[in-house]
Amino acid sequence: MVALFFIFEIMINILFEYPQLNCGGTEVVMYNLAKFFDSSQYHVDILVRKQGNNEEIFRKIGCSIYLIPFTSKEQYKLDLMTFFNSYHYDVVHTHMHSDMGLVMECASKAGILVRVAHSHNARLDIPHLFWPVQIFRNWCVENYANLFFACSHIAAKWMFPRHRNSVYVIYNAIDLDDFKFDVAVRKQKRKELGVTDKTKVIINVGRCTDQKNHSFILDRAKELKNEDILFVIIGDGPLFKSLSKRIEDEYISNVHMMGKRFDVSQWLCAADVFIFPSIYEGLGIVAIEAQACRLRVLSTNTIPIEADMQMGSLNG
């Protein structure tokens, strides 16, 4: 399958498909892939369904961003076929789990030679007894895609059961220069938090969804309310308001909800521990970022082993 990439001459035009460009882990992976491609050989554009708040960083590295709103599968399929027939891409690379099969089917019917399905998650909260159901749920994906990527072996097994042995596992890499520990930044950010040198700052980064299990963090904060500890949660999402309300209603004063941030690496410098209680993850790129910033990571046992950078700092 890999040989497909070498039949093109000069420039290979790649289209990433994803619903919205915000500050999530998948967007970070997409950005790093596009950023470090050889621009003399590859050009990346992005197709989204909604406008996001993190599109500018992609434009700065040369990506064009196209928008096709999603109102129904029938409408999206028709618009997608029109788009594929108007813009001639060599590769369509979808990062979105839902409707992945639809995208791959349209790309195939439009004659796009390389069709990449990329798994970024694994539902470890679902008993493995029920995983064979994925064979039927992802039948269309595995029929129409001809190249399969995953961020971990367990993500490959979850999303592509029929092709799990031919999946290319591509670990979510980061730019280490962006996550270097900086003493001066640490002092400044801790000053902004209003904490002393003795205060233990425990940080989490992730969208406020059930998957990320922020309620666990609030429970632990309540238990440790008399200790010199501050919990910091960075991220936005559908549960942000309800989590903030719980903090207010239950007087959980040692939790600071910071919302969406574009300077995550600086706040990692301010912390002492990274807490990662996710119910499931495909890999957990924020755990890699935290370890790169010299933080010990306290995680659930649902984090794939590939997220351990062998620094003795990830405890699951």
pLDDT above 70 (res 1): no
Q: Which of 123, 165, 163 is nearest to 143 (CA)?
A: 163
Residue 201 contacts residue 193 (beta carbons within 8 Å): yes
pLDDT above 70 (res 6): no
Q: What is the pLDDT of residue 221?
A: 96
Most confident of 111-120, 136-145, 174-183: 111-120
State the architecture of 2-169 in CATH terms.
Answer: 3-Layer(aba) Sandwich (3.40)
Q: What is the pLDDT of residue 161?
A: 87
Q: CA 280, 284, 286: angle at the middle one, nearest 5?
A: 135
pLDDT above 70 (res 246): yes
Residue 316 confidence class, pLDDT cut points 50, 70, 90: low
Tens of pLDDT, residue by residue over 203-233, are 999 999 999 999 999 999 999 999 999 999 9
Q: What is the pLDDT of residue 304?
A: 80
With 0-12 / 13-18 / 19 or more C-beta atoms within 10 angstroms meaning exposed / middle / buried, residue 246 is middle
Residue 312 confidence class, pLDDT cut points 50, 70, 90: low
Cα distance between residue 8 and residue 12, in whole Å: 7
Mean pLDDT score of the chain, rounded to an integer?
A: 90
Instruction: Output 144 or 173, whichever has higher pLDDT.
Output: 144
Q: What is the pLDDT of residue 94?
A: 96
Instruction: Output 303 or 209, whichever has higher pLDDT.
Output: 209
To the nearest 10°, report the CA torsion of 271, 243, 178, 229. 0
Q: What is the pLDDT of residue 293?
A: 92
2-169 matches 176-306 in fold = yes
176-306: what fold? Rossmann fold (3.40.50)
Q: What are the boundaries of each domain within the chain?
A: 2-169, 176-306
Q: Return the beta strands (E) in the chain as ranges.
A: 12-17, 42-48, 65-67, 91-94, 114-119, 147-150, 168-169, 200-205, 229-234, 255-259, 273-276, 296-299, 314-315
Q: What is the pLDDT of residue 158?
A: 86
Q: What is the pLDDT of residue 123?
A: 84
Lowest mean pLDDT among 3-12, 79-88, 96-105, 122-131: 3-12
Lowest mean pLDDT among 22-31, 119-128, 201-210, 250-259: 119-128
pTM of the model: 0.81
Instruction: Output 165 or 65, whichever has higher pLDDT.
Output: 65
Cα distance between residue 274 and residue 108, in whole Å: 43
Q: What is the pLDDT of residue 110?
A: 96
Q: What percent of the chain has pLDDT above 90?
A: 66
